[in-house]
Amino acid sequence: MNRVRVGICGLGTVGSGVFNLLSTNGTEITRKTGRQIDVSLVGCRRDHPACDLSTTTVTRDIFDVVRSDDVDVVCELIGGTDVALDLVREAIAHGKHVVTANKALIAHHGESLFQLASEAGVSLKFEASIAGGIPIVKAVREGLAGNRINWLAGIINGTTNFILTEMENAGNRDFADVLKEAQDLGYAEADPTFDIEGIDAAHKLTILSSIAFGVPLNLAALYSEGFSAITVEDIRFASELGYRIKHLGITTRSEQGVELRVHPTLIEKSRMLAQVNGVMNAVMVGSDAAGETMYYGAGAGAGPTASSVVADIIDVARSDGQSGGVPEFGFIPQALETLPMVPMEETASCHYLRMRLLDKPGVLARISTILSQHDISIESMIQKDGKTGTAPVAIITDEIRESAINEAIAELEALAEVDGKISRIRVESF
């Protein structure tokens, strides 16, 4: 039997998961590929207690893996974009197929790396870079290949979803309190910036947008907004108005071009995406023939992410490294289309506005007048009784262009009757 020899670079959560999954399910994998897939070399700074490395060659220099004659497929599982970039480039130069779970690497350097891989006649696969165990790349690229995809929206970061879910369930726990719990549970890093500011989701959405629409990677054009300003008061108002707050990645294609944005979003409680809780991920896709489809599952962790890495290794084994007629982004490279990227100011959504107003007659009428002057209609509104001389008010507007709502918010915040900043969250109907 023609063996496939795998070299693993990095033996952390994902690397150890891949090592153990290839061992545990080896017989099943051989039945599916007709080939024996073995880990021939592991490059790691330290051994992992969950892995039995007694019969596996280990090196402390990960570059030994890409240079080894005993490795056919390199699994890049170290993360980051510096050493990982050099590692993948050298692996390709040595004629190795590469499987990675590194979304930042693909979002920043994917096109140049795919070009290098094509010229070298090897594969570069990245299913595990998005949504952990959910096979969303294959679903969009292959399962929906006959469709024109119009939009895609997803909860693609489990840390953010856990925090928002706990803030809602607990009722009185603020962002900082739940973030600390997420860190204690290992869901959030000591420095959680990539998660809470939407950077992690931005990398993933950039890749998904390219696969969905056949456009070049364009991380620089993406609008990203974190969710640390969301309060328990926002969550309560949203619930009373019939919504839940989720941190979404959204990309759409229209006559104006492609929208690419990550931000907190109000979704109607009845929508499937609004019912995804905890650390789970979900992606909804809107296409012309299949209609709305949703893909749900664990977005991180040793087992789920290893599942996607091993699936890519199996693809390489089945095809002897050939693409099998499936381009990595789903569109043949020469057919990628450079569409206009719609600036955030030109996008349109309904909006949730929460503000504190001086509790006296005529204030709401003045607020309504200013919104009307910007062609903004009020769809629904809640006003609570004021106890300290101000009253909290929440408004849902009709759909309006971003530039118009920005101007209106600036004008409202300048009023003496408005106490402090206005909280704004976009509202979508996915």
Residue tagged 């969710």 (tokens) = 227
Tell me if 123 sits within 8 A of 155, measured CB to CB: no
User: Partners of 315 in the beta sheet?
Assistant: none
User: Partners of 247 in the beta sheet?
Assistant: 264
Angle between helices 199-213 and 103-120 (to 10 degrees): 40
* Number of H-type helices and E-type strands within the chain: 14, 17
Question: What's at 140, amino acid-wise?
Answer: V
Query: CA-CA-CA-CA torsion for 358, 364, 367, 368, nearest 10 degrees?
Result: 170
Helical ranges in 185-301 per DSSP H = 193-196, 199-213, 232-240
Question: What's at 84, amino acid-wise?
Answer: A
Phi, psi of 368 (to 5 degrees): -60, -40
Tell me the CA end-to-end span of the chain in Å, nearest whole number.
Answer: 49
Is residue 204 among the annotated active site residues? yes
User: Partners of 268 in the beta sheet?
Assistant: 243
**Residue 1 burial (CB count, 10 A):** 8
Cα separation, 317 vs 4, whole angstroms: 7
Q: Which of 96, 103, 138, 204 is catalytic?
A: 204
Q: Which stretch of DSSP H or E encloses residue 73?
A: strand 73-76
Give catalytic residue positions. Answer: 204
